[in-house]
Structure 1
Amino acid sequence: MTRSVRLPVALAILALGPSSPAQEFPEPYDSQDPGAGLPSAAEALEGMRLPEGFRATLFAAEPDVRQPIALATDPRGRLWVAENYTYAEHERNFDTDLRDRILILDDLDRDGRFDRRTVFWDRGVRLSSVEVGFGGVWALCAPYLLFIPDRDGDDRPDGEPVVVLDGWDADTIRHNLVNGLRWGPDGWLYGRHGIQATSLVGPPGAAESDRVAMNCGVWRYHPTRKVFEVVSRGTTNPWGMDWDERGQLFFINTVIPHLWHAIPGSYYERMYGEHANPHLYALMGQTADHVHWDTRESWDFIREGGVSDTTDRAGGGHAHSGMLIYQGDDWPEEYRGDVLALNFHGRRINRDRLERFGATYAARHLPDPVRWSDPWFRGVELVSGHDGSVFVADWSDTGECHENDGVHRSSGRIYKISFGDPEVPAVPDVSAVDDRGLVELLGHPNAWYARQARRILQERAHAGLDLSAIADDLQGSVEASPDEVLRLRALWSLFGIGGTTEEWIRSLLDDPDEHVRTWAVRLLVDRGPPSGETIDAFERLTEREESGLVLTYLASSLQRLPVGRRWPIAESIASKSAFADDPVLPLMLWYGIEPAVPGDPDRACSVAGSARFGPVSRFIARRLTAEMADRPEAAAPIVALLGRTEDPGIRFDLLSGMADALRGLRRAEPPPGWAEASESLSASEDAEVRRLTRELAVVFGDGRAMEELRAIASDPDADPSARRDAIGAMVRGRAEGLFELLGGLLSERDLATDAVRGLATLDDPETVPLLLDRIGRLQPGPRREALNALASRPESASAMLDAVEAGRIDREEFSAFLVRQLRTLGDPTLERRVAAIWPEYRPISEAASVRIASYRLAMTPERLAGADPSNGRSVFSKTCSQCHVLFGDGGKVGPELTGAQRGDLGYLLENLVDPGATLGEDYRMTVFALADGRVVNGLVAEQSDRTVTIQTPTERIVVPRDEIEDRRKSDQSLMPEGLLDPLSEAEVADLIRYLQGPGQVPLPEGQPASSP
């Protein structure tokens, strides 16, 4: 099923088809004010800066092409263009107001400009991608993946589009759409998905239980087997990907770090939110060793400016859309294999070089080769053509996400970048080449020909043609060619036409080339769980394998193996000490064995105790300890291992994992053998081992450990961090005499915050008068915590309001969040008192649009130009920095602002005044009613079977599930409305000025100025 409430409208569009009565394509309208005007296409071309010897032509521009969101090529070298006019639209009539379409552009005279333009299909809605193959055209039109048949190749659809997959979210998001169709070397059709919604993907009519949940990441669909699966999960909004010459997939991303290696089964860092599996424990980082901006300095995204000098030198900004790995034969050889990515705000092409590093790859930054001075340039796509040139699609707009300030639909450009004059393509139509000729094209220096040839061979095999003669040639190339790249291309083609057997692919596990061995592993699990003979071969390979890349894909393959067959491979991988500190391989190993750990604790502990292999030992201990809620004996093998091992590092890892699993719990049944093991552990020479043992002993009800903690917490000469840890453990364990201890610590500057947080958890009637008595003597940090604590229960909140009304507490100390916290207590008397004390904080969503309009009128360019960003920084520190990072400073509760669309006044005001209007699911606040009487407002940061971690603006609270009496998901953001209400107009202007950055920054020396 799909969740699109506009499904009937979308189906109506699809039903129009080519056989329906012709309807005029609705003329797209502009909803964006062009301001000083859109530079002409000629001016934009003139302002490009290229390396010596390169030239750029304007392949197409408005009105012939507009809003080009995606590009593809066909076997004749023609350019297919997806024009998207419905981006971010939800309320339009997609029949009469707006539609999307697919164009074909052909350069007949090869002068770098199209000569023939064909409209292939013009019934699209939310069209984000196009690809050609298997007798038709593939198009992503959320909620659908469509196949538009054109079996006779006459550039006219043979019939109505076929819905291949549905369930892509199309209604809860405005961008981050499903996108990116590309054919992989393995014969699958790949795509990407953004973070702002979770889709439930499957064939039409599939039950929800049979669908695949997909959030941000990379996916693939097999065109003949009709199988859908997720490849990698994570990042933010991937919008560009390509395979290198050895078939490794890399993709580009926006907002957070940019370049990622899509290893099947990988889990990557996310901009926000959690992955569905709660037992991942750690996520993989990007492949690049750099970012393309300077996070230490403010840099500006306003439409007509540039970026700061330091960000310019770093690469131009955080946002990337469109990527290819250059493998053509036109550009100089020095570019071959380099990653080319469009930098959205930097208006340029970034260039990174991939290198083998550790188990996998790293990417190093190289000088950016191409720049645009056009302030309207919004590059979204890069593809390479049959002559080795590179096409660049320019959305041509002044916004960032194309909707906050309207859309300029009447513009769009496509550039073609060549080195000198490209040679005439040797083959005008690859689809007309015979089978043996296609095999010869696999060796062409321009990978474009090899990719077309491989796919066409796969299509012919699917059509039932006899390819047995060329299968022998392909197998011979795999086995005997001295060219490593040709061997891989022949292997992919042979597999695609069904010319391989499992036994023959297994023989490649002995190949001397690491990339051939890697692909043998991948292809042996391509169709699902492999045979027992193949698993046996994997075990033998892992024992002798020294290549980190092959080991990484063996670790990846574990997720395809029966859980009981994973351990021998896992044990061999974990013994490879050369990769123990690798950033990729240990995590891939963990992702592969995690589901097998609860079912075989003894085998898991064998891996955990053999050697330290990244975080694997710690994660095994954590996973088994988490099982203790249902099976107290689950952690017994960990305890036994703690007693056996003499390695302090392994002991620390195991104890840390146990502590991670039990964090937030007040009591747990000790696992068998704990009493004996803890005696030895408590006598360890390692201070960290002793500390962790004490904390665990408290959870397991050991009174002696509690007394040791009390002694540490009370010792003024002890290390503050050790005292802080002791306080936390005592609070979790509900130690006797805790109130007196914490009350005494309120006077200690370094521990006052921890003391207040501990007191907040105690439902002790003496806590309220104690905090009210001491609050005036507390430092700002502990004082804020005291206010939060008093605001968490109706009785203490009432006493606090008494103090405010009596003038003992300054009303100005209350943030918008704290005022809203008081309102969520659900007490009508408190609500009336809050409204009387803070009348400037209006009820939620009261006339937000009016306030936004008022601020828009007041915050003129002249007003903001005269604002004081230094004071704005001070205002930011008071109102925003608890939750948001900007320029490297602040808290990580909400999304980082450094890379946000801060230059757009409308975007800023919408989020500052009415944060719930564009609220992502992961930032919706939850109101928790706890068993101790507190009401806590926050985000759900993590969840396990036994605890929930709540992120408030000031702390992360781990709460046992059985102490949560009620939880209610709010429609509100954790960031409260009314944040600007207590500020003067001058303070609002100063804040916006600081958020937007320093204003227009001069372009780097030598870069042409922007057109007016």
Structure 2
Amino acid sequence: MPIRSFLILTIISLIGPTPGSIADEVAGLDIPDGFAVSEFAGSDLANDIQCLTIDPDGRVVVSGRGYIIILVDDDGDGRADRSEPFADAPKDGAMGLLWEGDSLFVVGDGGLHRYRDADGDDRADGPPELIRAVKTGGEHDAHAVRRGPDGWLYLILGNFAGVDASFASLPTSPIAEPVAGCLVRFSPDFSGSEIVADGFRNAYDFDFGPDGEIFTYDSDNERCVSLPWYEPTRLYHVVPGGHHGWLAPQRTETWRLPPEVEDVVPPVSAVDRGSPTGVVCYRHDAFPPRYRGGLFFLDWTFGRVYFARPERSGASFIAEPEVFLEASGTEGFAWTDVEVHPKSGELYLSIGGRGTRGAVYRVRFEGDAGASAARDAPETGDRPSQDSAPPPTPPRLLTTDRDPILPPGAVPERVGTDRLLAAASSDDSLQRLRALVELKRRHEAIAPETLIEAIRSNWDHADRLVRSASADLIAVLSPDQRSPLADDATTPVRRATLGFGIAAEDPEAALDLASRVLADPEAGPGPRLAAIRLVQVALGGQPDLALEGTVWEGYSPRFRPPALGVTAIVDKIGNHLVKMSSVNDSALDRERSRTLAVIESADPDALLQISSRLTAASDPVDDLHHLIVLGRLRGPRPPEVTSRVADALLALDRKLDARAARRDRNWPLRVSELCRGLGVRDAALASAVLAHPEFGRPDHALLALALRLDPAAAADRMLDRAGADPDYSWTPDVVAMVGARPSVRAINALRALWGSAGLDDAILPVLARDPSPEDRPKFVSGLRSAQPSTVSAALAALDAIGPSDDPAEWLALILALRRSAEPGQQRAIADLLSRSTRQAIGPDANAWASWFASADPDRAAALSGGDGVDAAAWARRLAGIDWSLGDAGRGLDVFRRAQCASCHSGNRAVGPDLAGVAGRFSREDLFTAIIQPSRDVADRYRSALVATDDGQIHQGIIIYDAVDRLILQAGATETIQLHPDSIERRQPLDQSLMPAGLLDELTDRDIADLDAYLRSLGSASAR
């Protein structure tokens, strides 16, 4: 590095950029008073950024697919002037970066790696060292890496990262058999690892708070909105040894444990819908005091940056999140990562992900922050060798006013047993929790009497996290060692805690303890809720493996009572639960009814109690819960139960709409399963639904199909409703139901909808069952569908009607042949073409196009793809080019001048990766695709047109589509976020985002050079 540049960078890293040095503030962001946001680096320097870190010289380092680069601000004006490539990796893009000394830890390319830069030239010295192989690259795989105040290296992983018991290689691991996403830590010398906590869905990042506690932001189960087990995104205090609620993929597919139950760590705060990404604790004094020691955490989907300041509550924390930054308008800010600059105290945030626009933004406070803490970071200097981990660094700005028995960031192995035992009886609940966790980690080296003393101090503690840690400690004792505890379990709380400790080893004894709690008239709601959850745990938890992935996941036991030999005690528990019908606690009542479903109670009073919860004023999500319970209860259904169930099912849509509650893709799947299950339990339900005066709204088609109502009668009821309501919202389900046994009336109604309701793909298969010549234009139109099944139905209908002598139909068939990728369908199209044209050409789209150009020259222009391109003229020009003159080096310049790089560079997903493209396509096919980009668009890159209620028209590739957000990638640097309520119309397009005419200004020599460059991509020399 030149000396001048080094000096500038050193000065910048010491004092930070000048606050007023950037005038161009970022538009499209709502920001709090006193703060300013500016663009530090645009997509020209780094696109589609997945994560960032700050290097020892104070420079921002970012990564995306195929790159790690250092962003350099040469003149210190707060904007990066250039990017320096550190490594052309990871291929899948890093989702975690940590730079310490001369080492850069990187999560990507199948593991946690360490790159070295021992010579300080800002280039990786060579291939990285693999520290631990782990699944990377997927959105639910391995993510952020950070150094803990204890000197261990921490890695957070999503629920599909494949974490198993091998990650608990040290006997001190708090978790031995992980479930779902995990936080893992590696010893300073990387000789072993522990699973710190599990039960996350897809926490992307985490950080250490001021007193050394860990916080993360976990994702919601977004496809389950308005289902009883939906939970929004959540800010968590990560409790070592704690389970945080998520069970997939090891136990369930979508159901998660409720946050109120005894063996789940509750969230610090439930936040909102979204996709969590970066998390950082603000340990600096440049921002006002209220931000110091608080957490900034990011949401990718809605473009929000949240702030929360966790406050102590028992052994954990609570917080009230607030929106710190939020995208306003349609321009997207897909936040991916955030760090605090160690010198300036500014926030640096990156955007990107899923091929979206990349950039880095700088957030600074421009007022008087009232700084009260000295800046204590070491001076920038030569980076030391990193053969071993650095010594633990205490977090800055410690805010605790206690004199802790266990100091913040204490290295557990250095804390003596006496001190742990003293901490286990501290007045501070968090101290107790820390001590119990450490006693369990080291239990093999501690006398059982000492462990029992700690248990007795905590098993009836008011804080459930402390009780849960006590139960974990009980579980490591042998039956003989814990026998004294059985004599002392004289209160409901102690019995429940002891039950959790022995449930895995002695489920019958655990159930007996739960039964005694439930029978105790002095037991309060807390102990009863714990006892009810204990029943579920003693039966193996949820679900029955045969019901995994269904609506019954959270309402069925892993082990049935007869298989465990505990039928009698479970029947007794069922009686206790039925007698608790007047519970005035929502969580307790929900788990009471769930457990009746788990044990499949046959008590008639249970049916009456649960069905009585279904009222005109009850919440529809609660209704779904109680309907699922009813679907599991055994016993004959009296008429009043049938009537209540029918009322509740038919009112679901109306109630949800009144609350503006949205439904995502899992909702109809689970409700259909629910209806089928209810129908099996109650033979009278289908008739009650069909005869109900409310029946006939569009959403009721789902119920009709699931309950297998009489098709003709149900269709007539739907048609009656549609005829009486000019605003009737036809859906594919309604079309399917009306078309299941179509009458003349139904067919006429469907024909009237053609082309106006966006339901052509649903209507065409109905019309194709008994094709009529009058519908021939509709079947020809269906050949353009993006759905292969619709194309096949259209072909079958046209074949049944007979060949046509209309050249327009021949053209539609040739275009369909060109688009089709299924050999059987290609043969069917060619056969129909042959019979229509009397030409024996076979399934060769190019041969048919050549024939058609002669048979009907006027219409043949449409085969150019509608781009206004003179394909014949281009074919003549390409034929005359001397391709041997092509030079790959010059071709790279042409590639950039023709704007190809903006969409096809390795870290951009708007267009496909071009590596090896010349090996996949002939020169003719390759340049045809460039000249006529809309001729054949792959499904992944097919764009959509979206019209909004403010008159705007947007086109782009849909990269996120949910009930409350649509995100379009409209180009390499433009991301558009829209709320579904603002969308008036959306339709798929066959048009590519790649414009026609990119080669119009190029010379023949340029084109030859471009060809040479494209052919070099993927080769060793190009890499």
Q: Compute the TM-score of the two structures, normalised by the length of structure 2.
A: 0.53
Match of 2:210? 244
Partners of 1:342 and 1:732 in 2: CA distance: 44
Match of 1:327? 283
Q: Tell me by how many angstroms 1:182 deviates.
A: 0.9
Label 1:760 to 1:191 Cα distance change in 2 as closer, same or farther (>3 A).
same
Match of 2:422? 507
Matches within 5 A, 1:106-185: 123-125=89-91, 126-132=93-99, 136-148=103-115, 160-170=127-137, 173=138, 178-185=142-149
Partners of 2:124 and 2:107 in 1: CA distance: 16
Query: Structure 2 counterpart of 1:352, which letter?
Result: A
Q: Tell me by how many angstroms 1:145 deviates.
A: 0.6
Match of 1:777? 720
Please say if residues 99 and 124 of structure 1, whose CA atoms lie closer than 8 Å, have aligned partners that are also in contact: yes
Matches within 5 A, 1:939-958: none
Query: Structure 2 counterpart of 1:144, which letter?
Result: G
Please say if residues 771 and 786 of structure 1, whose CA atoms lie closer than 8 Å, have aligned partners that are also in contact: no
Query: Structure 2 counterpart of 1:238, which letter?
Result: Y
Correspondent of 1:100 among 41, 53, 68? 68
Partners of 1:911 and 1:340 in 2: CA distance: 22
3-state SS of paired residue (1:510): coil
Q: Tell me by how many angstroms 1:361 deviates.
A: 2.2
Alignment of 1:84 with 2:63, yes or no, is yes
Partners of 2:290 and 2:508 in 1: CA distance: 51
Please say if residues 253 and 320 of structure 1, whose CA atoms lie closer than 8 Å, have aligned partners that are also in contact: yes
Q: Tell me by how many angstroms 1:181 deviates.
A: 1.0
3-state SS of paired residue (1:220): strand
Q: Tell me by how many angstroms 1:362 deviates.
A: 2.0
Match of 1:401? 353
Q: Tell me by how many angstroms 1:193 deviates.
A: 3.9
Please say if residues 302 and 334 of structure 2, whose CA atoms lie closer than 8 Å, have aligned partners that are also in contact: no
Match of 1:867? 951
Please say if residues 137 and 147 of structure 1, whose CA atoms lie closer than 8 Å, have aligned partners that are also in contact: yes
- Write the deviation string for residues 722-771 of structure 1: whole angstroms up to 9, x where unpaired: xx99x97995356566666555x24x22699999777656778xx23433
Q: Tell me by how many angstroms 1:143 deviates.
A: 1.6
- Write the deviation string for residues 208-235 of structure 1: whole angstroms up to 9, x where unpaired: xx99888656443444342253624335
Partners of 2:735 and 2:525 in 1: CA distance: 46
Partners of 1:868 and 1:432 in 2: CA distance: 53
CA RMSD of aligned residues (A): 7.1
3-state SS of paired residue (1:185): coil
Alignment of 1:336 with 2:292, yes or no, is yes
Correspondent of 2:153 among 173, 178, 189? 189
Label 1:216 to 1:644 Cα distance change in 2 as closer, same or farther (>3 A).
closer
Matches within 5 A, 1:457-496: 484=402, 488-489=406-407, 492-493=410-411, 495=412
Q: Tell me by how many angstroms 1:127 deviates.
A: 2.4
Label 1:778 to 1:592 Cα distance change in 2 as closer, same or farther (>3 A).
farther
Label 1:565 to 1:249 Cα distance change in 2 as closer, same or farther (>3 A).
farther
Alignment of 1:541 with 2:457, yes or no, is yes
Label 1:253 to 1:781 Cα distance change in 2 as closer, same or farther (>3 A).
farther
Match of 2:964? 898
Please say if residues 236 and 270 of structure 1, whose CA atoms lie closer than 8 Å, have aligned partners that are also in contact: no
Alignment of 1:282 with 2:258, yes or no, is yes
3-state SS of paired residue (2:457): helix
Match of 1:980? 987
Query: Structure 2 counterpart of 1:648, which letter?
Result: S
Please say if residues 193 and 216 of structure 1, whose CA atoms lie closer than 8 Å, have aligned partners that are also in contact: yes
- Write the deviation string for residues 305-341 of structure 1: whole angstroms up to 9, x where unpaired: xxxxxxxxxxxxx666533323335655443322234
Correspondent of 1:799 among 735, 741, 746? 741
Matches within 5 A, 1:598-677: 600-609=510-519, 610-613=523-526, 615-620=529-534, 624=539, 626=557, 627-628=559-560, 631=563, 634-643=566-575, 647-649=580-582, 660=594
Partners of 1:62 and 1:697 in 2: CA distance: 55
Greater displacement, 633-642 / 153-162:
153-162
Partners of 1:258 and 1:608 in 2: CA distance: 31
Matches within 5 A, 1:725-740: 732-733=679-680
**Long gaps (5+) in structure 1:** 1-39, 87-97, 296-317, 449-481, 873-879, 885-893, 913-977, 984-1012
Label 1:391 to 1:569 Cα distance change in 2 as closer, same or farther (>3 A).
farther
Alignment of 1:390 with 2:345, yes or no, is yes
Q: Tell me by how many angstroms 1:169 deviates.
A: 3.5
Alignment of 1:519 with 2:434, yes or no, is yes
Label 1:261 to 1:762 Cα distance change in 2 as closer, same or farther (>3 A).
closer
Please say if residues 142 and 178 of structure 1, whose CA atoms lie closer than 8 Å, have aligned partners that are also in contact: no
Label 1:278 to 1:156 Cα distance change in 2 as closer, same or farther (>3 A).
closer
Correspondent of 1:226 among 176, 192, 209? 192
Q: Tell me by how many angstroms 1:523 deviates.
A: 2.1
Matches within 5 A, 1:276-425: 276=252, 280-283=256-259, 287=267, 291=271, 321-328=277-284, 331=287, 333-341=289-297, 350-357=306-313, 360-365=316-321, 368=324, 380-384=336-340, 387=343, 389-395=344-350, 401=353, 403-404=355-356, 407=357, 412=360, 425=376
- Write the deviation string for residues 805-840 of structure 1: whole angstroms up to 9, x where unpaired: 4669855599878955996x9998799999986665
Matches within 5 A, 1:520-919: 520-526=435-441, 532-533=448-449, 535-543=451-459, 545-547=461-463, 550-551=466-467, 553-554=469-470, 575=492, 600-609=510-519, 610-613=523-526, 615-620=529-534, 624=539, 626=557, 627-628=559-560, 631=563, 634-643=566-575, 647-649=580-582, 660=594, 678=603, 702-703=635-636, 705-706=637-638, 709=641, 732-733=679-680, 745-746=691-692, 748-749=693-694, 760=705, 767-778=710-721, 788=733, 791=736, 799-800=741-742, 804-805=746-747, 811=753, 840-841=781-782, 842=785, 844=787, 850=934, 867=951, 896-901=962-967, 904=970
Please say if residues 41 and 413 of structure 1, whose CA atoms lie closer than 8 Å, have aligned partners that are also in contact: no
Partners of 1:65 and 1:355 in 2: CA distance: 37
Please say if residues 71 and 382 of structure 1, whose CA atoms lie closer than 8 Å, have aligned partners that are also in contact: yes
Q: Compute the TM-score of the two structures, normalised by the length of structure 1.
A: 0.54
Label 1:560 to 1:731 Cα distance change in 2 as closer, same or farther (>3 A).
same
Query: Structure 2 counterpart of 1:771, which letter?
Result: A
**Long gaps (5+) in structure 2:** 1-19, 170-174, 223-231, 540-555, 616-622, 656-670, 789-815, 821-932, 979-984, 991-1023
Q: Which structure has the larger Rg over C-alpha atoms?
A: 2
Please say if residues 79 and 106 of structure 1, whose CA atoms lie closer than 8 Å, have aligned partners that are also in contact: no
Q: Tell me by how many angstroms 1:661 deviates.
A: 6.8
Q: Tell me by how many angstroms 1:262 deviates.
A: 2.4
Label 1:809 to 1:689 Cα distance change in 2 as closer, same or farther (>3 A).
closer
Q: Tell me by how many angstroms 1:897 deviates.
A: 3.8
3-state SS of paired residue (1:127): coil
Label 1:375 to 1:281 Cα distance change in 2 as closer, same or farther (>3 A).
closer
3-state SS of paired residue (1:356): strand
Bigger relative CO (Cα 8 Å, ≥ 6 apart): 1
Q: Tell me by how many angstroms 1:144 deviates.
A: 1.4
3-state SS of paired residue (1:261): strand
Please say if residues 140 and 146 of structure 1, whose CA atoms lie closer than 8 Å, have aligned partners that are also in contact: yes
Partners of 2:779 and 2:36 in 1: CA distance: 63
Greater displacement, 119-128 / 176-185:
119-128
Partners of 1:838 and 1:169 in 2: CA distance: 45
Label 1:541 to 1:693 Cα distance change in 2 as closer, same or farther (>3 A).
same
Match of 2:237? 261
Please say if residues 279 and 296 of structure 2, whose CA atoms lie closer than 8 Å, have aligned partners that are also in contact: yes
Please say if residues 136 and 147 of structure 1, whose CA atoms lie closer than 8 Å, have aligned partners that are also in contact: yes
- Write the deviation string for residues 623-666 of structure 1: whole angstroms up to 9, x where unpaired: 64633386396453232134457543469999976864786x9x
